[in-house]
């Protein structure tokens, strides 16, 4: 038997190809194209947004410092490109005001508006965006990555580029190229989740009963535990988060813990696990929605009006970078002269019935540029949650606000690499930091 595709192969040449159109990918592409590079984005969905939109994460986490004093106004810790994206979302009514999330704050977004803002940014910058496309092979000459081969409905497409950025979230290009990578904690990853939206909610009554904190109070967790034990419902996660959205009478529900029929934490890198996660996720979302309707104040007339396009993926494959962010860096609020992004977000480790949260109060830590530069291979960088970071560290560093910062930095690094012929490993993080500060990143 011969494997074949007889359709004609096309070729597209550019300075930079970005694989993945999430927050990090869109930012990388926009920054580089604004600087004059010819940029191509490859995105497997029909829209940009990554986990924030396809996975319906629904919130921009990582913007504000954490504090024990919730009576104070939120303290904004992340600036730069994130500020521009937020401003555009606000102009369209696509972003809610900050809401309490434990010891910090987050902002709920409208995923439709997110798609439109991303389209505008890419189009205005002159980026060639190829939706419904998947990178299937790396084009390489020895150690040099020279682009990717892409599957499209029209047929195979070679995208030749001076620089490639892996913003796939799963370090797909790194793996295809055979470059050093790792998966979670010795293969163990945080569980995926199916996020959904509940309409018909009396949000006023809901907030009056359960308070302003979007992390539900202990009595709700106990009710979930008791209801699950009774056998009336199947509710494997007890600590849940429910967010009022930008739309009237609606809650965004982050509450599922998707595990396999055999009790394993599923790993979306495996086709069988990923498929099972989608089925289990939809079933579990319905079960939680039924529980809410039966038991939570304000949800008596509620119903599911939307589910994520796919399960939300928190962690899979990551690159082995020239630098690795450690768990200790996050906990101690470590700063680096070559830091290119900052984060106040806690370690938020999803595994088991109750997520582990470890707060960094009134402070931030920084993420070094080397976390996005592979140890081996040429002309390649990563951006987004596949950065080089230890298991618990990535449970903090993976969130949306920081992904904007990563893309901001990697976009400028791509310009230097493509225009000046500088290898990414020879680019100094301190120089990128200086550029970012000129563009309102406020890292110093």
Q: Which domains are seen in the chain, by residue range? A: 10-187+315-438 (3.50.50.60), 196-307 (no CATH)
10-residue mean pLDDT series, the chain (444 residues): 92 98 98 98 98 94 93 93 98 97 96 98 98 98 96 98 98 98 90 95 98 96 96 94 97 94 88 96 97 98 97 95 96 97 88 71 97 98 97 94 98 98 97 98 96
Output the pLDDT for position 192.
Answer: 92
Q: In Å, what is the CA distance from 31 to each residue of 48, 115, 340, 408, 416?
A: 16, 18, 15, 6, 12
Output the pLDDT for position 150.
Answer: 98
Query: Given the structure tokens 């079960």, which residue do they identify?
Result: 287
Output the pLDDT for position 358.
Answer: 85
Structure tokens given for 416: 């230097």
Question: Is the separation of the CB atoms in 165 and 40 below 8 Å?
Answer: no
Output the pLDDT for position 381.
Answer: 98
Residue 262: exposure state from Cβ atoms within 10 A (0-12, 13-18, ≥19): exposed
Output the pLDDT for position 3.
Answer: 87
Q: How far apart are CA 374 and CA 403, in angstroms?
A: 17
Residue 281: exposure state from Cβ atoms within 10 A (0-12, 13-18, ≥19): buried
Q: How far apart are CA 392 and CA 396, in angstroms?
A: 7
Output the pLDDT for position 265.
Answer: 83
Output the pLDDT for position 259.
Answer: 87
Output the pLDDT for position 262.
Answer: 84
Q: Are strands 339-343 and 347-349 parallel, antiparallel or unpaired?
A: unpaired
SS3 percent helix, strand, coil of the chain, rounded to 5, is 30, 25, 40
Other CB atoms within 10 A of residue 279 CB: 13
């Amino acid at each position: 038997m011969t494997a074949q595709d007889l359709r004609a192969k096309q070729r597209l040449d550019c300075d930079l190809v970005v694989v993945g159109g999430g927050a990090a990918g869109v930012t990388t592409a926009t920054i580089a194209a604004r600087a004059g590079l010819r940029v191509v984005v490859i995105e497997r969905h029909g829209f940009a947004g990554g986990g924030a939109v396809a996975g319906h994460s629904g919130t921009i986490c990582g913007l504000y410092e954490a504090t024990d004093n919730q009576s104070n106004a939120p303290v904004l810790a992340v600036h730069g490109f994130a500020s521009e994206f937020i401003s555009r979302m606000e102009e369209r009514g696509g972003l809610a005001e900050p809401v309490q999330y434990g010891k910090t704050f987050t902002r709920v977004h409208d995923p439709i508006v997110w798609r439109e803002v991303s389209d505008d940014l890419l189009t205005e910058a002159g980026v060639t965006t190829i939706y419904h496309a998947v990178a299937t092979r790396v084009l390489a000459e020895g150690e040099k990555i020279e682009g990717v081969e892409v599957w499209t409905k029209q047929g195979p497409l070679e995208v030749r580029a001076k620089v490639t950025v892996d913003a796939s979230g799963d370090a797909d290009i790194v793996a295809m190229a055979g470059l050093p990578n790792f998966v979670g904690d010795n293969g163990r990853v945080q569980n995926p989740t199916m996020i959904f939206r509940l309409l018909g909610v009396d949000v006023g009554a809901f907030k009056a009963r359960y308070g302003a904190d979007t992390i539900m109070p202990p009595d709700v967790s106990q009710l979930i535990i008791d209801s699950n034990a009774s056998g009336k419902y199947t509710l494997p996660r007890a600590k849940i988060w429910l967010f009022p959205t930008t739309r009237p009478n609606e809650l965004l529900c982050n509450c599922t813990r998707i595990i396999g029929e055999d009790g394993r934490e599923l790993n979306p890198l495996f086709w069988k696990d990923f498929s099972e996660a989608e089925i289990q996720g939809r079933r579990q979302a319905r079960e939680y929605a039924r529980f809410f309707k039966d038991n939570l104040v304000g949800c008596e007339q509620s119903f599911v009006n939307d589910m994520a396009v796919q399960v939300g993926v928190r962690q899979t494959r990551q690159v082995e970078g020239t630098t690795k962010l450690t768990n200790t860096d996050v906990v101690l609020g470590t700063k680096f002269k070559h830091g290119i992004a900052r984060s106040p977000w806690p370690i938020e480790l999803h595994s088991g019935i109750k997520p582990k949260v470890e707060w960094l109060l009134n402070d931030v830590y920084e993420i070094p540029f080397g976390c996005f530069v592979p140890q081996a291979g040429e002309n390649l960088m990563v951006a987004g949650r596949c950065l080089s970071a230890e298991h618990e560290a990535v449970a903090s560093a993976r969130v949306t606000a920081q992904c904007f910062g990563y893309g901001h930095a990697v976009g400028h690094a791509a310009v230097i690499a493509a225009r000046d012929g500088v290898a990414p490993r020879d680019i100094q993080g301190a120089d990128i930091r200086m550029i970012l500060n000129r563009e309102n990143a406020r890292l110093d």
